[in-house]
Amino acid sequence: MLDLNDIAVFVRVAQLGSFSRAAQALGMPVSTVSRRVTALEEELGATLLQRSTRKLSLTAQGRAYYEQCSEPLHELQDAERAVTQTQKAPEGLLRVSVPVILGQAPFFEFVSDFMRAYPRIRVDLYITNAFIDLIGENLDVAIRYGDLHDSALVARRLGTSERYIVATPGYLEGRPKPRIPADLASHECVMINGRNNEAEWVLVKGKQSERVHISGPLSSRDFNSVSSFVYRGHGIGFLPSAYCDEKLAAGELVRLLPEWTSPEFPVHAVYPTRRFTPQRLQVFLEALVAWQSPSWRRA
């Protein structure tokens, strides 16, 4: 019978890519971590880790074994928490992935309030637009905008978001305001993911829909940089409402064609399917649903 503790040690080494980091995370001497992994390899009759002075990496057999073991271990840990969680406050490390659009003060305030409410929960934030493999990277939950494609994840709808057509008063000075979507083609536009500094914007008004070909001086891959150049008067932008609302209220931006927006796109919290949902994740999801986020309208 294989020792589950040895398997758990191996999984942590594989996740962290280092005996020393795994030892620190597990509160064990490095020698004990190394000995347990070696014992597991001897029991299996297979080399799981390729060791060198510079690098530690999984062998093909090690990768396959890790993928088979990591999720059952999660379930065992979650089962233990399910039994004990009613006896104590939520605790543990919560790994959360959020898109760059949320990497702003309102979300940070939400996380701060959440941590004050649950002081025994630690939070590890991943702020990135990349769709991280939650299971492979051992993440608890991700907030994602747009349609979902990964059927292996549980999704909880948080709301919807949309984009507005905006520009600064300085950019509009001396220029005619667009009256219909087609007028945007004669303006300088700042776009996301443009090709050769050209793009197509899809606008909707009720049941009407129009596609407008636009071009301009700058294209970028994230809304933080796009919005920054719109704020500086380099052209018209098609920005998520979270990047517009405060500046519109302050008069620093002007909303153009206000009856037109982008199609609504959903916002979800997604997390791996498990037999038992950790209590730390349950309370985080409940807090997310209750939060009045400026980045989306309530579902």
pLDDT tens digit sequence for 165-177: 999 999 999 999 9
Q: Supply the range of the domain harboring residue 69.
A: 4-85
CATH number, domain containing residue 107:
3.40.190.10
Whether the predicted model's global pTM rises above the 0.75 cut: no
- What does the mean pLDDT of the chain come to? 89
- Tell me how many domains the chain contains: 3
To the nearest 10°, report the CA torsion of 41, 47, 50, 53.
50
State the pLDDT at residue 83: 64
Supply the pLDDT for residue 292: 85
Q: Does residue 260 lie within any of the structural domains?
A: no
Q: Which two tokens stand for residue 158?
A: 């948080």
pLDDT at 156: 93
Question: Of the ranges 143-152, 211-220, 286-295, which is most confident?
Answer: 211-220
State the sign of the Cα–Cα–Cα–Cα dihedral 111, 117, 121, 122.
positive
Average pLDDT for 1-10: 83
Is residue 160 within 8 Å of 296, Cβ to Cβ?
Answer: yes
- Tokens 């494609």 — which residue? 149
Please check the confidence at residue 69 and state whether its pLDDT lies above 90. no
pLDDT, one tens digit per residue, over 225-280 is 999 999 999 999 999 988 898 899 999 999 999 999 999 989 999 998 876 788 89
Q: Which of 59, 85, 111 is the last residue of a domain?
A: 85
- Dihedral Cα 47, 50, 53, 54, nearest 10 deg: -160
How far lies 125's CA from each of 15, 100, 242, 259, in Å? 17, 11, 20, 36
Q: Which residues pair with 271 in a beta bridge?
A: 154
Q: How many other C-beta atoms are found inside a 10 Å radius of the C-beta of residue 2?
A: 11
End of a domain among 67, 85, 103?
Answer: 85
Q: Do 248 and 290 lie in a common domain?
A: no
In the prediction, which pLDDT does 299 show?
64
